[in-house]
Chain A
Amino acid sequence: MLELDRVGVALGPKAIFNDLSLTIGPGESVCLVGPSGAGKTTLLRLAAGLLAPTSGEVTNGFRETSVVFQEPRLLPWRRVTDNIALGLKARGIGRRHRRARARELAAAVGLAESLDCFPHQLSGGMCQRVALARALAVGAELLLLDEPFSALDVGLRSDAQQLMQQLVQERALAMMLVTHDLIEALRLGHRVLVLAGSPAALVYELPVTTPFNERTPAWLHEAAARLLRQPLVQASFQPLVDREAA
């Protein structure tokens, strides 16, 4: 279980958020949406332990936690296999075992053919799948994903989301996904949280009980529209709309 207990982060005099609490249970998929600049990435880095809170406490009870960043962040000088096995090497697993594990995971994300490629030979979507396989390789029970599909074009993004959905279900992973795409959040989450305001707060929470296989495109669009009609959600996205109009 991951528990953020009344955490606050301040950059100099400016508080990004105060007293924010959030819990993610085993196997639970939480999607975090909100206008850009609200502090979604900061919250994720806090959960990943890459940033220490100014106040409050972060307790991570999951055995392994992995992060997938907005950009793939692969090592350009290592082949796909070794990129996937990066975390395994850090945990002292021998070359033979980690290569075998990397092969399995490459197959799981549909990269069985590209094991010996260098990252610059792969497309953006493939690189992001390598990053995903690298995150899964260490046997993560909690995945922290920071807008991992935002750089992909529409078709690839849909494929990646489907893969993600399948992985979460099959492996019973807990997940925190940061996104600015409501549809993506509704497609992948058990809970959708809206982070907005300054200092930022979780202004709205929507439990999504519909099973994953019943979340059709029509259902998703309708759910997104319904969510956006909520006054609190509308208000949190509003300043952005105004700013863009101005």
Chain B
Amino acid sequence: MAAWVRRLLRGIGSLTGVLLLVTLWEWGSIRYGSFMLPGPRDTLTAMGRLAEQQALLAAMWATSWRAITGFALAALAGMALGLLAGLSRTLGRVLEPVATVLLGIPPIAWIVLAILWFGSGSLASIYTVAATTLPIAFAGAQMGARTLDARLAELATAYRLPLAQRLWDLYLPHVVSYVFPALITALAVAWKVTVMAELLATDTGIGAGLALARVNLDTAAAMAWVVLVVVLLLVAEHGVLRPLQRRMEPWRTGH
């Protein structure tokens, strides 16, 4: 079978799933009324209304940069600490319980602390995102550094690879293969946590929009914001991270 036919069939399969969800949504809206569950059309209308008020783009931008800033800080710090913890057993033993504790603190607790520490505003959301995603990046990098193949290291010694080549040809690709899946998970978490933090701590962004929709009992607007978050997340994952992974790791697919 030609490759494009297979791709088409796969596309049709995914589309069927989406359509099924939309159908259920529409059915629920008819069954329970458009106040309890606004249907897809009501949601689109609400989204259009938000766009007219210029609120949409500003909110998307505010949420995205908070999510991405927090995520980037956590990714950098988490990877650096994770690599060190993977390479040094002592450091690993010290940092591992810290990471476990951090992972166990629910994001909602972080946001309360962050508001107390930093006051309402962007900083509280960014901090919450960073604190929640850091242990995920840490765990990925630590696992990557810990599973470095001793036999490949011996090969590097036998062929007298200089340190730079060792890092670039041996260690980096291996660690990346562990870090990338962790980063994709962390990014999804980052978006959700940002929205939650914004709901409590800021007056801009998608979370603030949701808070406003709640005050106004505007269910359609709330649904519109939800759809927006999902779209943003899908764009970030399938538009940026996965293509990046395919570029950096062609050996996984073998093309």
Contact = CB atoms under 8 A, between A and B. Distances in A.
B209 to A, nearest CB: 43
Interface bracket on B: 20 to 34
Interface in B126-178: 151-152, 154-155, 157-162, 165, 169-170, 173-174, 177
B159 A69 contact: no
B249 interface: yes
B11 interface: no
B151 A71 contact: yes
A199 interface: no
Contact of A90 (B151, B159, B177, B251): B159
Contact of A73 (B155, B173, B249): B155
Interface of B is mostly: helix
A117 B170 CA distance: 18
A25 interface: no
A78 B169 contact: yes
A90 B161 CA distance: 5
Interface residues of A, number: 24
Contact of B251 (A49, A87, A89, A118): A118
Interface of A: 48-50, 66-67, 69, 71, 73, 75-79, 86-87, 89-91, 117-118, 120-121, 134, 138
Interface of B: 151-152, 154-155, 157-162, 165, 169-170, 173-174, 177, 249-251, 254
Given A75-B169, A90-B165, 18 more contacts: A48-B158, A49-B158, A50-B154, A50-B157, A66-B158, A66-B159, A69-B151, A73-B152, A75-B152, A75-B173, A77-B177, A77-B249, A79-B251, A86-B159, A87-B160, A89-B165, A120-B254, A121-B254
